[in-house]
Amino acid sequence: LHRYMRNDLNNLQIRCQYWQHGCREKVPLETLHQHESACPSEPMRCPACRADTSRGEMARHLQICTLRTSAVVPAADVARLLEDMRSELEAARQDFMTKLAEQKLEMDLRLDAQRRHLVQREHCLQEQLEEMRRLYARLSEDIKKLIQQENSRTELQMAQEKADFSKCCTRLPARRQVQKLQKVQIYERQL
Ligand SMILES: [Zn+2]
Ligand SMILES: [Zn+2]
C-alpha cells in the first residue's frame, strides 16, 4: 500500500514554482527539483547593472548590457601597469640570480670541504693499509720461522730415536743367539 501511494505521488504532475513568472511546465514530483534548478523562467538579476531578467534571458541581456562592457581600463593605465609588471619581473629576476649565485657559492664550498675530507680519509686509509702490510709481513716471517723450528725439531728427534733404536738393537742379542743360549742352558740342566 505504501509503495502504491508513493507511486501515485510521483505520478502527480506539479506546476513549476515559477508559474507566475511565465513557466507553463507541469512535472512529476520526482523531477520537480531538477526542473526548477534549471527553469528558464527563474527571475535573476544582472550582476553588472542589477537589471531584473530571467535565467533564460540572461545571456541575451549580457550582450546588450551597457555596464558589462564599460569597465574598460584607459590605455595610459595599461601602460603604467605593464611598466610596473616589467620592473617587478626584473626585480624578481635579479633576486633569483643573486640567490642562485649564493647557492652556487655555498655548494662549491661544501664540495671543496668534502673533497678535502675525502683526500684526508684516503691518506688515512693508505696508512692503515701500509700498517697492515707490515704486520702481515712480520706474521708470515714468524710463521716461517716456527715451521722451520718445528721441522728441525722433528728431524733432530727422529735422528735421536733412530740412534736409540740402533743402540737397543746392538744391546739385544740376536734371536738365534738367544735360542742357542736356551738350548745350552737346557743341556746344562740335564747334565
Ligand atoms: Zn519552470
Ligand atoms: Zn545588465
| Residue 36, beta-bridge partner list | none
Query: What pLDDT is attached to residue 29?
Result: 85
Mean pLDDT of the 19-23 span: 95
State yes or no: pLDDT of 73 exceeds 70. Answer: no
Compute the distance from residue 16 Cα to the ligand 1 centre, in Å. Answer: 5
Look at 37-51, 143-157, 168-182 and tell me which has the smallest mean pLDDT. Answer: 168-182
Mean pLDDT of the 160-169 span: 84
Task: Give 11's contacts (C-beta < 8 A, 6+ positions apart).
Answer: 28
Task: Report if pTM > 0.75.
Answer: no
Q: Which residue did the predictor score with more confidence, 46 or 184? A: 46
**What single-letter amino acid sits at 110?**
R
Rounded Cα distance, 159 and 152, in Å: 10
Task: Give 96's contacts (C-beta < 8 A, 6+ positions apart).
Answer: none
Pinpoint the alpha helices (H) of 23-74.
29-36, 55-64, 66-70
Q: Which residues surround ligand 1, an ion (CB under 5 A)?
A: 16, 18, 23, 25, 39, 41
Compute the distance from residue 131 Cα to the ligand 1 centre, in Å. Answer: 98
Four-point Cα dihedral 169, 172, 177, 181, nearest 10: -170
Compute the distance from residue 67 Cα to the ligand 1 centre, in Å. Answer: 29
Q: Say which CATH architecture domain 2-66 belongs to.
A: 2-Layer Sandwich (3.30)
Can you give the residue ranges of every domain in the chain?
2-66
